[in-house]
């Protein structure tokens, strides 16, 4: 009969320990990846909502501007113009650094009675809108980049 070394009895225990360690490492890695995917999906969903908000804001700004330079608006069109202005104010964050200037430009449009006054107000309104939209676009891009890095 062949004598087997006593340490050979420990081989199944070592193999089982290594297998358990492998399974544990796999579970930890899968859990970490799942959490990363969940955070990324959440960030991308928020980015989608921000993009929709930017689109709504841009559309309201464009409608407001087009009504603002249109001569002789009838009652119905004036209502739509005021509605676009209100929508802009509701979509904007009052803490935005350009919010006050945006309001000033909007009310300058409302106060302009002559066509020349309306056209002279237009470039300033467009400039502030472009700054706001560009800043929000940069925020959106940084959110998407951050979500992709996670």
pLDDT digits (tens, 9 = 90+) for 22-44: 999 999 999 998 888 888 788 88
Q: How many domains does the chain have?
A: 1
Classify residue 78: in a domain, yes or no.
Answer: yes
Classify residue 110: in a domain, yes or no.
Answer: yes
CB-neighbour burial class of residue 63 (10 A; exposed 0-12, middle 13-18, buried 19+): middle
Average pLDDT over residues 120-134: 94
Range(s) of the domain holding residue 145? 44-149
Classify residue 2: in a domain, yes or no.
Answer: no
Classify residue 28: in a domain, yes or no.
Answer: no
pLDDT digits (tens, 9 = 90+) for 62-104: 999 999 888 888 888 999 999 999 999 999 999 999 999 999 9
Q: Which pLDDT does position 11 carry in this prediction?
A: 83
Q: Which pLDDT does position 114 carry in this prediction?
A: 85
Classify residue 103: in a domain, yes or no.
Answer: yes
């Amino acid at each position: 009969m062949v004598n087997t070394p006593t340490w050979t009895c420990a081989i199944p225990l070592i193999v089982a320990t290594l297998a358990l360690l492998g399974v544990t490492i796999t579970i930890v890695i899968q859990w970490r990846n799942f959490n990363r995917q969940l955070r990324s999906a959440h960030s991308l969903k928020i980015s989608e909502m921000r993009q929709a908000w930017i689109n709504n804001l841009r559309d309201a700004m464009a409608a407001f501007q087009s009504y603002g330079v249109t001569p002789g608006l009838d009652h119905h069109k004036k209502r739509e113009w005021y509605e676009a202005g209100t929508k802009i104010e509701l979509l904007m964050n009052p803490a935005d650094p350009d919010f006050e200037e945006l309001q000033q430009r909007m009310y300058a449009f409302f106060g302009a009675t002559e066509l020349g006054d309306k056209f002279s107000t237009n470039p300033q309104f467009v400039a502030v809108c472009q700054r706001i939209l560009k800043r929000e676009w940069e925020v959106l891009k940084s959110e998407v980049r951050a979500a992709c890095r996670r």
